[in-house]
Amino acid sequence: MRAWDILRSRLRSIVFRDRRESDLSEELQLHLERETERLQATGLSREEARLQARRLFGGVEQIKEASRDARGTAGWDALVRDTRHGLRRLLRDWRFTTAAVLILGIAIGANTAIFSVVNAVLFRKQAFADANRLVNIYQNDRSGKPMIVIAYAAYMEMAEYTDVFSGTMASSIPNPVRYLHDGAIRNAVAEFSSSTYLKVLGLQPSLGRWFDETEERPGAPLVAVLGHQAWTRLFHADPSIVGRVIRMEGLPVTIVGVGPATLRGTLDVGLGTDFWMPITAVPAMMPMGAPRDAPTILVPLFVKARLRDGVTVAQAKAAMDVLGRRLADEYPDQFRNSGEFAIGPGITVLPSADVRVHPQADVPFMALASIVLFIVGLVLAIACSNLATLLLVRGAARAKEVSVRLAMGATRRQLVRHLLIESLLLSLAGGIVGCVLAWWGMRALQTIELPFRVDMNVDYRVLAFAIVLSLVTGVVFGLAPAIKATRIDLLQTLRDEGLQPIDHRRLTLKNALIVVQVAISVLLLGGTSIFLQATAATRALRVGYAVDGVAMLETDWRFAGYSESAAKTAHDDLLRRIEAIPGVESAALLRGLPMASTGMSIVVDGATSQPGPEVETHMIEGGPGFFDTLRIPLLYGRVFDARDRADSPRVAVITEAMARKYFGAVDAVGRRFRLQVDPNSWTEVIGVVRDTGTGDFEDDIIDPIGPTYYRSYTQSGAQATTVLARTSRDAASLVAAMQRELRAVDITLPVITAKTMAQRLEESQTAPTVVATLFAVLAGLGLVLASIGLYAVVAFAVARRSREIGIRMALGARSQQVVSSIARGVAALIAVGTGIGLFSTVLLMLAMRAGGGSADIGIGNLTVYRPSIDPLALLAIAAVTAAVGVLAAFVPARRAVRMHPLVALRHE
């Protein structure tokens, strides 16, 4: 009860502060009046009585202060007072305030935006029921590291272990699929899963149901579960979606349910899964992925299982080890694979909670995220040191105010608190501006066409991150300047006549901060140069095939309900029409997009290459007229023509690199190889063509592909989808003309891709261009921030030395001498900062070169670009930094020498 009273009285005091203040004044006033009256009654004059009453009473303000203290609200009052005072002060110095808030806002905004991306990719946890009983199961590679489960059959064997697992589920890595929506073809992400998927995770569909066992049988009618996000985004959360039939990859698929709202996908690395389909739908949905006559569905699967009560991870592991050896005996073909899916007999079982994406990928993923956060953190570091510089400069400029207040009896603690509140206000304002900028920046990021869609939003973690960031910035970078500002020699400062002792120490806090800022900016510029180098390297790469005047048009006959024979007639008709367009020199039919490659393991006939008979190659789809249209020169033999049909012997055209590497001679015509997964796929080499680059940036720089061969779509058993044509005129107008011809053939045929070859090459470079731009923006930001800091420091130094400068000018010093005396100090700072920055850049480049150039992330290799150290680029960076720095210092220095000596002498 008493605690409540105290709380209420305190709350009332806080809430009704103004009334309480006037009450207190009135109360004390009444006392003084009554006392005066009493004393007057004893015979004193009114004036004497008033003075006497005051004397007896004591200091009114002190009593007021003591009364406030007695209520325990003094701290709060001081806070309110300091905040008000601080706000007033900041509004008055609006130039300084705007600069500081913008500096912080930009830095915090950039950090929050990047953190949102990292958060979307790495930190969000999936909510599974009783998650600590879930384990992940992986087949190992030959060196014993966990890989992935490579075949449906292997998963089915694992699911048999019902004495160990109460449930087992599998889901493929996300795959691109296409579906027809509102008359247009859209790209989506599909997972191929088991019917047990949701039950094992302990989740419920938000609408309808998951597909069942009968729908998982091979040959069952196609069904799909829609992802919750796709449902709300694409179908406006329409509940009538359940039971609707949509066309995916041209085939009718029935939607049976909508997934849980909390489930974004099995991997959940920002790629929201749009459709879940049974694993048995793989052959229908991915005709390119695996050979049709393969004995089992080969698809990379993630397998999770729920342990039976009382079963430990070690027991599960022991059971799986037995299975691993049996699988190696039963499916020898799967274990003979080399390259991407080279698995061994070992099996790894790990608690699901210990794995984020994949045991092999988690470390590089985290490393990548840390690098990105580190880079953006550098910008924040610049901003913070910048703010500290500004506060230091401002603190020094306010030395007189501070010393007056100290002399008036303010304690140092009060002053530090006051200054700290000012910097906290600044950083909070910066934080708010930062959040707005981050929100705006993320919307901008999402409009960029990336090959994948990252689902980002500002969640509580991101907000907390921004707020903590701004508060920490405020305290850490406000405290040092505040303490420094209040540690002053009272007498010295008050006596100050403008002749300040010049600080000759080299290693002051301000100088160190400037050096750090310059160094970080240089490092960021260095990073930009690395990315620009990587982009330029791809552009410079010999493309080796025709780009100018080449256009492509991709459709899919299945979406318009064509039978195979009808499709053949229709696309032959389309080809003839396009060949007849004026200016067209050559045209060809194709499956998929030109120069897109697929990794394939092959076995070369009579080869003696080590370590095994299988070797890695990449396959590109071609066809009759393909090499002519793309002007790829034939060296030996022949190219594809009408002789190569589905029922004729398989043939291939190979590149000279493959001929040299796997057949030992450029003229390899007549030699044979087969697909590793299919013993009956012997293919004869009919021609050898010149090497070319490919259609994708990744294939050339990120992950250079191995030797390449071409097969004809006419032998793949699948329909052509694309017409490729070369014109002597403008490629863009050819694209339009080709679309007109497509509509003339059948108005209902969807246009999937209609672009020029030049556009396709350009688009494949989107990701590296975005990264390079991001880096350049960050570097530019850093440089701008650093030059603001430089400007502030020089302006301050000049202001403090105005009197000295005035004297020197009055004594006849030339303005050049004065400017150069100021410039010397600044130049030294820039030189040291640039030196440190360049040194770190070279270290970074050396580290990237020494890094082996490859990072194995378990599912394919990521080859890291190895930069060359380009002295010219480094020189350019140094020059830019020096120029910006000198400019920042020059402006205030010039103002100093332009000042009239008399003004300068009188300057305080």
Partner 1 sequence: MSDQTDVLQGTLDLLIMRTVALEPMHGWAIAQRINQISDELLRVQQGSLYPALHRLEHQGWITAEWGSSENNRRARFYGLTKAGRKQLTTEVEKWERLSAGVNLLLQRT
Euclidean distance between CA atoms 350 and 360, whole angstroms: 12
Q: Are 161 and 323 in contact (CB under 8 A)?
A: yes
Distance in Å, CB of 2 to partner 1, minimum: 5
Distance in Å, CB of 495 to partner 1, minimum: 37
Q: Report residue 544: phi and psi, to 5°.
A: 80, 5
Euclidean distance between CA atoms 530 and 775, whole angstroms: 10
Find where tokens 């032959």 sit.
572
Kindly report the CA angle at 479 between 475 and 483, in degrees rounded to 5? Answer: 165
Strand 134-141 relative to strand 298-307, pairing: antiparallel
Q: Is 194 exposed, middle or buried (0-12, 13-18, 19+ CB in 10 A)?
A: buried
Distance in Å, CB of 34 to partner 1, minimum: 4
Distance in Å, CB of 465 to partner 1, minimum: 40
Distance in Å, CB of 126 to partner 1, minimum: 52
Between 56 and 846, name the residue whose CB sits nearer to partner 1.
56
Distance in Å, CB of 8 to partner 1, minimum: 9
Distance in Å, CB of 81 to partner 1, minimum: 19
Euclidean distance between CA atoms 801 and 815, whole angstroms: 14
Euclidean distance between CA atoms 713 and 722, whole angstroms: 11
User: HSE of 901 in the Cβ direction (CA atoms, 13 Å)?
Assistant: 11
Between 57 and 452, name the residue whose CB sits nearer to partner 1.
57
* Token pair of 863 as six digits: 């080859």
Q: What is the DSSP string of 786-816?
A: HHHHHHHHHHHHHHHTHHHHHHHHHTT--HH
Distance in Å, CB of 84 to partner 1, minimum: 23
Strand 245-248 relative to strand 207-208, pairing: unpaired
Distances (CA, A) of 427 to 149, 522, 622: 50, 26, 60
Euclidean distance between CA atoms 21 and 80, whole angstroms: 14
Distance in Å, CB of 382 to partner 1, minimum: 49
Between 27 and 330, name the residue whose CB sits nearer to partner 1.
27
Between 26 and 641, name the residue whose CB sits nearer to partner 1.
26
Rg of the chain over Cα atoms, rounded to whole angstroms, equals 37
Handedness of CA 576, 582, 587, 590 (dihedral sign): negative
801 closest CA partner among 816, 821, 786, 787? 821
Between 33 and 160, name the residue whose CB sits nearer to partner 1.
33
Q: Is 668 exposed, middle or buried (0-12, 13-18, 19+ CB in 10 A)?
A: buried
Q: What is the DSSP string of 476-528?
A: HHHHHHHHHHH---HHHHHH--S-PPP---S--HHHHHHHHHHHHHHHHHHHH
Q: Are 274 and 190 in contact (CB under 8 A)?
A: yes
The residues with which 684 forms a beta bridge, in sequence order, are 651, 672
What does the CA dihedral 609, 610, 615, 617 come to, rounded to 10 degrees?
-70
Q: Are 553 and 760 in contact (CB under 8 A)?
A: no
H/E element, 190: strand 184-193
Euclidean distance between CA atoms 291 and 67, whole angstroms: 89
Euclidean distance between CA atoms 109 and 671, whole angstroms: 61
Between 32 and 754, name the residue whose CB sits nearer to partner 1.
32
H/E element, 117: helix 94-118
Between 8 and 85, name the residue whose CB sits nearer to partner 1.
8
Between 18 and 497, name the residue whose CB sits nearer to partner 1.
18
Distance in Å, CB of 85 to partner 1, minimum: 25
191 closest CA partner among 293, 263, 132, 138? 263
574 closest CA partner among 587, 593, 591, 586? 587
Between 73 and 360, name the residue whose CB sits nearer to partner 1.
73
Find where tokens 């270290």 sit.
843
Distance in Å, CB of 46 to partner 1, minimum: 16
Between 35 and 573, name the residue whose CB sits nearer to partner 1.
35
What type of residue sits at position 520?
Answer: I
Between 4 and 460, name the residue whose CB sits nearer to partner 1.
4
Between 58 and 860, name the residue whose CB sits nearer to partner 1.
58
Distance in Å, CB of 501 to partner 1, minimum: 46
Distance in Å, CB of 61 to partner 1, minimum: 11
Binding site for partner 1 (CB under 8 A): 2, 5-6, 9-10, 23-24, 26-28, 30-31, 33-35, 37-38, 56-60, 62-63, 66-72
Euclidean distance between CA atoms 717 and 714, whole angstroms: 7
Euclidean distance between CA atoms 358 and 354, whole angstroms: 10
Between 6 and 879, name the residue whose CB sits nearer to partner 1.
6
H/E element, 618: strand 614-622
Between 19 and 443, name the residue whose CB sits nearer to partner 1.
19
Distance in Å, CB of 901 to partner 1, minimum: 56
Euclidean distance between CA atoms 451 and 187, whole angstroms: 10
Distance in Å, CB of 124 to partner 1, minimum: 48
Distance in Å, CB of 1 to partner 1, minimum: 8
Distance in Å, CB of 40 to partner 1, minimum: 13
Between 67 and 493, name the residue whose CB sits nearer to partner 1.
67
Q: How many CB atoms lie within 10 A of CB 727?
A: 23
Distance in Å, CB of 18 to partner 1, minimum: 16
Between 59 and 75, name the residue whose CB sits nearer to partner 1.
59
Q: Are 384 and 481 in contact (CB under 8 A)?
A: no
Between 26 and 238, name the residue whose CB sits nearer to partner 1.
26
Between 71 and 631, name the residue whose CB sits nearer to partner 1.
71
Euclidean distance between CA atoms 598 and 340, whole angstroms: 12
